[in-house]
Amino acid sequence: MCSQNVKKDGKVVSFINMKGGVGKTTLCLGIGEYLANFRGKRILFIDLDPQFNTTQSLMDLTDNEDNYMDDYRHRITVRKIFEDTKTISERPKVPEIEDVIIKFDKEPNIDLICGTIDIIKDDTSNKSLFKRLNKFLTEHKLKEIYDFIFIDCPPTISFYTDAALFASDYYIVPAKVDRYSILGVKMLKTVIDNLMYDEDIHINPLGIVYTMRRSEETKKSSEIRKRFETDTDVTELGIFDNSSNIVNDLMVGYQGNISSKYTRSRDDIEKISDEFLLKITKVENVEADTSEQTIS
């Protein structure tokens, strides 16, 4: 177990696609759990998807389903971070760590900020509140506690999408090889480019990860993939060398929604996770070199 007293230089990573059903949550969980249990990294998951599948999967993994239904979902979810003041005279403040973050005895390297379907009912007309997630992470210095903070984003353009991206250093785009993938990537890139312009921030793309691939690519799938890979936006984002294949037991959650629990998907997630770490290191080295050149 990593000590919280060791100062880290953690990174916030959003897992995002404007198209649902692409294995976003499975990839987010898979990389996070693998890094936590096989690479000794301290991981915080933040579930901003109203389907809250990351939350359900971790509750299942840690035998906390009843606790979630009876307790957590009523008082300790991501909604607390975005709560507005009740009166004009009140000063806004972020919640305390213990009021939002859940720790698991069975998974000491994994913590969670729970998701809930109830966020679809929240009043998000106060657009300035989308910065609260970043403020929560910053004020509590959570990047000094965790190696990685993984955000499972909504599959739509929304207040919570902006909140996730504004707080992020990087983003990953899970994508299936199908005819609608290019449109989804183009929409996503436009959203991110606009946010970076409006807020004067920079978010590094780590690339697209192909998910749920078949062991043998059909001629039609090959043509779609090649057409996809020639798109300018796709080229700018880049594509991971490694990908995840279809594993039926994982898709139906036979033993839960954790990739390392299944022999056939464990090798995939190991390769993707190690490539993820290499990509982070590469970007950090490039930025460090650029900074040194600017100073000199």
Please check whether residue 1 lies inside any domain of the structure: no
Please check whether residue 294 lies inside any domain of the structure: no
For Cα atoms 137, 108, 70, give the angle at the middle one, nearest 5 degrees: 80
**β-strand 101-103 against 110-113: which pairing, if any?**
antiparallel
Q: What is the pLDDT of residue 1?
A: 39
> Which tokens in the block code for residue 16?
């995002």
Q: What is the pLDDT of residue 213?
A: 86
Please check whether residue 163 lies inside any domain of the structure: yes
Is the pLDDT at 60 greater than 90? The verdict is yes
Please check whether residue 292 lies inside any domain of the structure: no
Residues in Cβ contact with 125 at an 8 Å cutoff, skipping those fewer than 6 apart: none
DSSP strand E in the chain: where?
Answer: 11-15, 43-47, 101-103, 110-113, 148-152, 170-175, 204-210
Please check whether residue 43 lies inside any domain of the structure: yes
Please check whether residue 149 lies inside any domain of the structure: yes
Q: Kindly list the distances between the CA atom of residue 16 and the CA atoms of 20, 153, 228, in Å, as whole numbers in the listed order.
A: 9, 5, 18
Please check whether residue 5 lies inside any domain of the structure: no
* pLDDT (tens digit per residue) in 79-116: 999 988 877 778 888 999 999 999 999 999 999 999 99
Please check whether residue 279 lies inside any domain of the structure: yes
* Structural domain count, the chain: 1
pTM above 0.75, yes or no: yes
Is the pLDDT at 118 greater than 90? The verdict is yes
* pLDDT (tens digit per residue) in 4-49: 455 678 999 999 998 888 889 999 999 999 999 999 999 999 999 9
Q: Which residue has the higher pLDDT, 40 or 245?
A: 40
Q: What is the pLDDT of residue 247?
A: 78
> Which tokens in the block code for residue 108?
């000491």
- Assign residue 214 the CATH number of its domain: 3.40.50.300
User: Domain residues for 146?
Assistant: 11-283
